[in-house]
């Protein structure tokens, strides 16, 4: 592995391009392409190496990186996501960085990785809730990944006792035929099952999710290690046919 970036800041797009090329792994590129449909503009850098590079950028010149390297392909987007999530700044500036990044989100992997890096939301969920709500309430047909970002933030940071019912209600408002929006809704419900089974089951019995999403939520709940065997059998009986 090229370790030059550990001591040398990356200050231009061309420097970043050359470094990512040196870190690419053709076998991993082929493997990862199968996991993320439609992904064609990427180097094939393994996740540990990419995270190590992101950590180095945060320690060297994160603001210079954000200003110069805009996120032209998958790895650059993931690096930008990590730097945005880790840079020290105030909430208003961070919200601006998040809003600037969302148009770059065009697949589930960038979306979910970005949400995982946003630890500021976890630390102060109440302050970020209005913005997260606005993401979920966007038009899912016009901006599906904006909505998915909101849903994934809800399932990661808003399924505690104070927010679970709000998160389920927001999930229920989303009406979409977009596969990755529906899968985020199903994932949210299944995760909520592990957080508070009784309240989530009550929601599921009266929800407005489309049949595909509803059944995916059941499937993901059945697959979850947080749900016991007896409960899984009950959930299987709740599947909608047709």
pLDDT, mean of residues 101-129: 97
- Residue 4 pLDDT exceeds 80: no
Average pLDDT over residues 170-194: 97
Question: What percentage of the chain reaches a pLDDT higher than 70?
Answer: 95
Q: Kindly tell me if the per-residue pLDDT of 242 is higher than 90.
A: no
* 178 has pLDDT over 60: yes
Q: How confident is the model at residue 130 (pLDDT cuts 50, 70, 90)?
A: very high
- Mean pLDDT across 93-112: 97
Q: 101 or 10: which carries more pLDDT confidence?
A: 101
pLDDT averaged over the chain? 92
pLDDT of 160 reads: 96
- pLDDT for residue 17: 87
Q: What is the pLDDT of residue 11?
A: 64
CA nearest to 149, candidates 174, 124, 166: 174
pLDDT of residue 211 exceeding 90? yes
What's the distance, Cα to Cα, between the start and end of the chain in Å? 52
pLDDT for res 13: 81
Report whether pLDDT(6) > 90.
no
Q: Alpha-carbon dihedral of residues 103, 106, 110, 112, nearest 10 degrees?
A: 90
CATH number for the segment(s) 124-242:
1.25.10.90
User: Which two structure tokens, joined as six digits, stand for 58?
Assistant: 């945060």
Is 90 exceeded by the pLDDT of residue 214?
yes
pLDDT over 50 at 123, yes or no: yes
Domains in the chain: boundaries: 1-106, 124-242
Task: Output phi, psi for 138, to 5 deg.
Answer: -70, 170
Q: Tell me, what's the pLDDT at 1? A: 44
Q: Per residue in 33-71, pLDDT tens?
A: 899 988 888 999 999 999 999 999 999 889 999 998 888
Q: Cα separation of 41 and 127, whole Å?
A: 35
How far is it, in rounded angstroms, from Cα 77 to Cα 70? 8
Percent of the chain with pLDDT over 90: 77
pLDDT range class, residue 231, cuts 50, 70, 90: confident
Element containing residue 208 per DSSP (H, E): none
């Amino acid at each position: 592995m090229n370790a030059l970036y550990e001591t040398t800041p990356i200050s231009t797009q061309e420097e970043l391009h050359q470094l990512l090329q040196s870190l690419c792994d053709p076998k991993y590129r082929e493997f990862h392409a199968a996991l993320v449909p439609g992904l064609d503009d990427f180097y094939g850098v393994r996740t540990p190496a990419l995270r190590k590079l992101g950590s180095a950028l945060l320690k060297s010149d994160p603001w210079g990186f954000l200003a110069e390297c805009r996120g032209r392909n998958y790895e650059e987007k993931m690096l930008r996501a990590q730097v945005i999530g880790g840079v020290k700044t105030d909430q208003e500036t961070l919200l601006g960085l998040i809003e600037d990044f969302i148009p770059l989100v065009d697949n589930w992997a960038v979306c979910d990785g970005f949400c995982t890096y946003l630890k500021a939301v976890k630390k102060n969920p109440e302050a970020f809730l209005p913005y997260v709500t606005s993401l979920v309430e966007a038009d899912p047909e016009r901006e599906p990944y904006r909505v998915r970002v909101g849903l994934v933030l809800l399932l990661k940071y808003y399924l505690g006792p104070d927010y679970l019912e709000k998160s389920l209600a927001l999930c229920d408002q989303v009406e979409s035929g977009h596969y990755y929006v529906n899968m985020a809704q199903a994932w949210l419900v299944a995760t909520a099952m592990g957080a508070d089974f009784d309240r989530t089951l009550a929601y599921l019995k009266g929800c407005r999710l489309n049949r595909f999403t509803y059944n995916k939520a059941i499937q993901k709940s059945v697959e979850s290690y947080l749900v016991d065997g007896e409960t899984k059998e009950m959930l299987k009986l709740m599947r909608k046919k047709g």
